[in-house]
Amino acid sequence: MLSIEVDSLSKIYTIKEISAAIYDNIHQPLIWLYLKLVEKTRGKEKVVYALDNVSFHARRGEILAVLGPNGSGKTTLLRILAGLALPTSGRARVEGLDVVEDNARLGDVVMYAPGLITVDLFAESNFTIRDNLLKYAKLIGAGKDRVDEVIALSGLQEYQDRLLYEVSTGIIGRLAFAYGILKEARVYLMDEPFTGISFEARKALMDIVRNVLAGKLRATVLIATHVLRDAEELSHRYIFLRKGRLVAQGDLPSLKERLKLKEKVEIEASLDPELLTQIALDAGAENYRVREGETGYILEFSVQKAGHILPQILASIYGRGGKVSTVKVSEPSLEEVYMELFKEEWEAPAAEGGDICSLVIS
Ligand SMILES: Nc1ncnc2c1ncn2[C@@H]1O[C@H](COP(=O)(O)OP(=O)(O)OP(=O)(O)O)[C@@H](O)[C@H]1O
Ligand SMILES: [Mg+2]
């Protein structure tokens, strides 16, 4: 069974745009009256497709990154899968539960973590970590042995007797995962979970996501993030949203292939720079240039598959009496995939017109 099935999912919001000048004075009674009037007369409505016909699926044990610029629909998607917002049309199922029909039961299978991972809902700051978990275990009818198991899985052994207010944000993050594991969540939905925590704590949480949640427990993890490095380090697959539409999905190799992204090659050799240039030209290398290196000259170029022309280039260098000291091949990164997919956003001119603010109607 697929863990997450999303089929032609859309979420439409109707908003009214008002000028920023009015928005700034929203506290004044006359402005309030004006806004009420605007709402009543339903003047200039604007429809926002927060999600527009989105379809994808995820298998158990998969980590999927949900990527896209601000306002592209990432949070809306996670909130619908968590049962906190309803779709306008289309269908989504999480562990077989329909997000509309079985909405009330979604909380049993999903752990939703908006923003920095927190445990506000259940945790007491003057309780120890262990007592907090025991209290939650009692609430959901889980045994004490499960608490020990969960403490071990989330790496909390050495912190279990510490009061919650004494521990760092990274440890609170682990506790949040412990709650999820305790209630046997099958799907973890995380919205920018790793902001505001130290490098070490982030690494530790990522290890838990990879090795425990997705690995050992074979839960499904969706992470909405702007931090492409985190996404690349963790995810098996990616989905990319732009203005509510799913513009691409897949793993890194298939995305690179589809977008025809090139690999970058650097060869340092003891050979005349003109000869190096000629060799690159003969081999059909693109965007080549030669610069001075530490032990000779460095030939740089990009090519679809480095393996296809490297042997010829190296043989030519040796054939002309040169010696190669280093060869470096860099694969296109997730960042390059993202830049390629969203290049229109970079290239688009700044929006025209005065400042606009939005008044949400539905
Ligand atoms: N409750 C709401 N009412 C009206 N419009 C909304 C609401 N929630 C989101 N939107 C709009 O839906 C679109 C998608 O928003 P969403 O928050 O899902 O984007 P996002 O990808 O999470 O953005 P970010 O990267 O800034 O977190 C945006 O245009 C947003 O303004
Ligand atoms: Mg968001």
| pLDDT tens digits, one per residue of 260-270 | 898 899 999 99
Asked whether the predicted pLDDT for residue 360 surpasses 70, the reply is no
Quick one: which atom of ligand 1 is closest to the CA of 79? 18
In this predicted structure, what is the pLDDT of residue 151?
95
Same domain, 269 and 246: no
Give residue 117's pLDDT band: very low, low, confident or very high (50, 70, 90).
Answer: low
Q: 353 in helix, strand or coil?
A: coil
In this predicted structure, what is the pLDDT of residue 98?
98
List residues bridging with 264 in a β-sheet. Answer: 302, 330
Same domain, 232 and 302: no
355 is a domain residue: no
Number of domains in the chain: 2
pLDDT, greater one: 293 or 347? 293
| pLDDT tens digits, one per residue of 147-180 | 999 999 999 999 999 998 888 888 888 888 899 8
Can you give the pTM of this predicted structure? 0.84
Give the residue from 257, 288, 323 where a domain finishes. 257
Same domain, 271 and 123: no
262 CA → ligand 2 middle, Å: 31
Same domain, 183 and 224: yes
Closest ligand to Cα 79: 1
In this predicted structure, what is the pLDDT of residue 353?
45
Q: Whose CA is nearest to atom 28 of ligand 1?
A: 71
DSSP code of residue 219: -
| pLDDT tens digits, one per residue of 192-238 | 888 878 888 889 889 999 999 999 999 999 999 999 999 999 999 99
Q: Whose CA is nearest to atom 19 of ligand 1?
A: 71
Same domain, 51 and 158: yes
Same domain, 41 and 162: yes
Q: What is the CATH number of the domain that holds 177?
A: 3.40.50.300
Q: 117 in helix, strand or coil?
A: coil
258 CA → ligand 1 middle, Å: 28
Closest ligand to Cα 191: 2
73 CA → ligand 1 middle, Å: 6
75 is a domain residue: yes
- DSSP assignment of 291-320: EE-SSSEEEEEEES-HHHHHHHHHHHHHHT
In this predicted structure, what is the pLDDT of residue 287?
87
Same domain, 280 and 169: no
Q: 150 in helix, strand or coil?
A: helix
Q: Name residues contacting ligand 1 (CB within 6 A).
A: 13, 15, 48, 50, 68, 70-76, 360
219 is a domain residue: yes
128 is a domain residue: yes
Give the residue from 219, 234, 257 where a domain finishes. 257
- Token pair 């899985």 is at which residue? 153
Residue to probe by mutation, ligand 1, list 14, 52, 72, 76, most atoms within 8 Å of CB = 76
Average pLDDT (36-50) is 73
- Token pair 């009037």 is at which residue? 37
User: Percent of the chain at pLDDT above 90?
Assistant: 63
SS3 content of the chain, % helix, strand, coil (to 5): 40, 30, 30
CA–CA separation, 91 and 227 (whole Å): 29
Quick one: which atom of ligand 1 is closest to the CA of 76? 18
Q: What is the CATH number of the domain that holds 316?
A: 3.30.70.980
Phi, psi of 329 (to 5 degrees): -115, 120
Same domain, 150 and 298: no
Same domain, 115 and 173: yes
In this predicted structure, what is the pLDDT of residue 160?
94
354 is a domain residue: no
Quick one: which atom of ligand 1 is closest to the CA of 77? 18
| pLDDT tens digits, one per residue of 310-355 | 999 999 999 999 999 999 999 899 999 999 999 887 776 555 444 5
Same domain, 253 and 282: no
| pLDDT tens digits, one per residue of 9-34 | 999 998 776 666 666 666 777 777 77
Same domain, 157 and 290: no
204 CA → ligand 2 middle, Å: 24
Same domain, 54 and 114: yes
Q: Whose CA is nearest to atom 25 of ligand 1?
A: 70
356 is a domain residue: no
Owning domain of residue 293: 262-331
